[in-house]
Chain A
Amino acid sequence: MMDIFDLFTHGFIQRALIAGSFIAVLCSTLGVFLVLRRLSLIGDGLAHVTFGSVAVGLFLRTYPFYVAIPIVMLSALGILKLVEKARLYGDSAIGIVSSLGIAAGILFASVAGGFNVDLFSYLFGNILAINRAEVSISIALSVVLVAVILFFYQELLSITFDEESAKASGIRTERINKILVLLTALTVVLATKLVGIMLISALLILPPVTALQLARGFRSTIIISSVAGITSVILGIVVSFIANLPTGATIVIVCFIFFLASFAYRHRG
């Protein structure tokens, strides 16, 4: 077996660990707000839109994320609009946008007929192939997210608890909601590289629900969720590399083991 310390000398492993940790912070922190607002499947929906957008990008022979980022951001705003204006529940709005994304992906893949292998790599992720630019983007986006949470912590807590009461406190809920879904959209696009389109909602849901088993306050929920997310990603990357397993799937399994452990701890005795 490879010496575990040798592992960390590889540039691609270092990039995977750095980008993975920052993406984990993004997913697990945003996930707390999404899970508590029963919008946890927004990650899944936007991931499906990412699938469609990547297909469009491949079809146009351009870097897929250049196409995916604006489309997924617009889709996130579209979900918000559907909830607000069409009087739909969040899950229905997510379902509509999600199926549209998948349909678009299948149509473009079918029309182009030649990039199934490339598309497959986005379905299951490939964190070990992450490049320097993507590492920088994940760090920058994490910094933005932390700044947003620091500046809007009370607003986010208020809206997450009850949006109507938040409005009566003079909070511009529409603006905060937009910021939240746009950050989620960017995070989802970025995280497809880590765990892939199929598994992204696990990274948005499992660390927060792990934290919900253990936390004794809102602040501690965010902290525990982030720690669970980062630890799962680092352990997942290391274990997958040593045991020659798919990285995205290994990360999700580690996340799930943390959730099981936290559940067992809460219900001990």
Chain B
Amino acid sequence: MPIEIVSVQGLSFQYNSSEILTDVSFSLTTGDYVGIVGPNGSGKTTLIKATLGFLEPSGGRVSLFGYRPADFPAWYKVGYLPQKLNTFNPHFPATVKEIVALGLLSRKGFPRRIGKPDDIVIDNALSLMDILPIKNELIGELSGGQQQRALIAKALVSEPELLILDEPTTALDPEAREKFFSTLQSLNELKKVTIVIITHDIGTIGKYASRLLYLDKRVIFYGTFDSFCLSTDMTDYFGEYSQHLICHRHDAETVHG
């Protein structure tokens, strides 16, 4: 029986008296693969931050694996890739391996130590993202795409049950992007990892995710792609062309893929 991984009920968030999110509700169970899409400023990143407990909502309830985020004791179950590292220093003096290893801290008791026995899982995550040969390079000396792969490896290294990725493919080239999405698909299908991806690329996410959450300060649509494609309300909201684009990519993968 699927376990409820995330539950968001009536979530609202205000910033300087302007409403960023209004009465947002949705839930995720084991093995869900959800694409969160919406225009700029629609509250996608805010929704994720409130879900993870980084922002205090002005109303509503959030639970992670049945716990309030503030009381959540098992962060090793969550892999998170922020949208961009606002404080990322291009001269940060840590190697790729040191950064990826930070993803394992949630599995460590006090004092948290990363040792030789962790090398295998770190190397596996690095191999998965094709960056094993550059593990001893300084992260600041890599290209944007390589840095992004390192950060994705960091999110994956603890083998999380819930993976939350905020615009993970923006710096990746098309080949790396396809490989990244197939990796996620394997994790989702074989290991039943629950995946949440925020993206602007509705066409591509339509190809992979099983559900779509369209956000524009409130939930415009949440459901399967089939129901999205059949919804006349969504035709009215998006226009025929956009709806067709999303549905076409999804159908191409599920029917012929």
Chain A residues whose C-beta falls within 8 Å of the C-beta of B110 in the assembled complex: 151
Docked-complex contact A218 and B94, CB < 8 angstroms: yes
- Is A221 close to B, CB under 8 A? yes
How many residues belonging to A are interface residues under a CB distance threshold of 8 Å?
29
Identify which of B52, B54, B112 gathers the most chain A CB atoms within 10 Å of its CB. Answer: B112
Tell me which of B73, B93, B103 contacts A221 (CB under 8 A): B93
Q: Chain B, 36-77, contact with A by CB distance < 8 Å: what is the 0/1 string?
A: 000000000000010011100000000000000000110110
Docked-complex contact A169 and B87, CB < 8 angstroms: no
Chain B residues whose C-beta falls within 8 Å of the C-beta of A211 in the assembled complex: 93
Tell me the bound Cα distance from A216 to B136 in angstroms: 8
- Is B92 close to A, CB under 8 A? yes
Tell me the bound Cα distance from A169 to B99 in angstroms: 13
Chain B residues whose C-beta falls within 8 Å of the C-beta of A212 in the assembled complex: 91, 93
CB distance from B82 to the nearest CB of A (A): 5
- Is B217 close to A, CB under 8 A? no
- Is B218 close to A, CB under 8 A? no
CB distance from B172 to the nearest CB of A (A): 19
- Is B134 close to A, CB under 8 A? no
* Interface hit among A12-20, A152-160, A251-259: A152-160
Q: Chain A, 255-268, contact with B by CB distance < 8 Å: what is the 0/1 string?
A: 00000000000000
- Is A239 close to B, CB under 8 A? no
CB distance from B67 to the nearest CB of A (A): 12
Q: List A35-75 residues whose CB lies under 8 Å from chain B.
A: 36-38
**Is the contact region of chain A dominated by helix, strand, or loop, or is it mixed?**
helix
Tell me the bound Cα distance from A162 to B166 in angstroms: 15
- Is A164 close to B, CB under 8 A? yes
Tell me the bound Cα distance from A168 to B164 in angstroms: 10
- Is A106 close to B, CB under 8 A? no
Also in contact, A152 and B111, with CB within 8 A (given A167-B52, A212-B93): yes
Q: List B97-114 residues whose CB lies under 8 Å from chain A.
A: 98-99, 101-103, 105-106, 108, 110-114
Tell me the bound Cα distance from A217 to B94 in angstroms: 4
Tell me the bound Cα distance from A168 to B110 in angstroms: 16
Chain A residues whose C-beta falls within 8 Å of the C-beta of B113 in the assembled complex: 154
- Is A113 close to B, CB under 8 A? no
- Is B225 close to A, CB under 8 A? no
Chain A residues whose C-beta falls within 8 Å of the C-beta of B108 in the assembled complex: 154
- Is B95 close to A, CB under 8 A? yes
Also in contact, A161 and B94, with CB within 8 A (given A151-B111, A168-B80, A170-B105): yes
Chain B residues whose C-beta falls within 8 Å of the C-beta of A161 in the assembled complex: 85, 88, 92, 94, 99, 102
Also in contact, A216 and B95, with CB within 8 A (given A162-B85, A164-B82, A168-B52): yes
Docked-complex contact B82 and A162, CB < 8 angstroms: yes
Chain A residues whose C-beta falls within 8 Å of the C-beta of B95 in the assembled complex: 216-218
Docked-complex contact B93 and A170, CB < 8 angstroms: no
CB distance from B126 to the nearest CB of A (A): 16
CB distance from B88 to the nearest CB of A (A): 7
Docked-complex contact A162 and B87, CB < 8 angstroms: yes
Tell me the bound Cα distance from A204 to B160 in angstroms: 38
Docked-complex contact A36 and B92, CB < 8 angstroms: yes
Tell me the bound Cα distance from A169 to B92 in angstroms: 20
Q: List A97-141 residues whose CB lies under 8 Å from chain B.
A: none
Tell me the bound Cα distance from A151 to B113 in angstroms: 9
CB distance from A158 to the nearest CB of B (A): 5
Tell me the bound Cα distance from A234 to B134 in angstroms: 38
- Is B211 close to A, CB under 8 A? no
**Can you list 16 A-B contacts with CB-CB less than 8 angstroms, sorted by A residue number?**
A38-B87, A150-B111, A151-B111, A154-B112, A157-B94, A161-B88, A161-B102, A162-B82, A165-B80, A165-B85, A166-B105, A167-B52, A167-B54, A170-B72, A217-B98, A218-B98
Known contacts A161-B94, A168-B78, A218-B95; 16 additional CB pairs below 8 A are: A36-B89, A38-B89, A150-B111, A154-B101, A154-B105, A154-B113, A165-B80, A165-B82, A166-B102, A166-B105, A167-B52, A167-B53, A168-B106, A170-B105, A220-B93, A221-B93
Taking beta carbons and an 8 Å cutoff, which residues of A are in contact with B?
36-38, 150-152, 154-155, 157-158, 161-171, 211-212, 215-218, 220-221
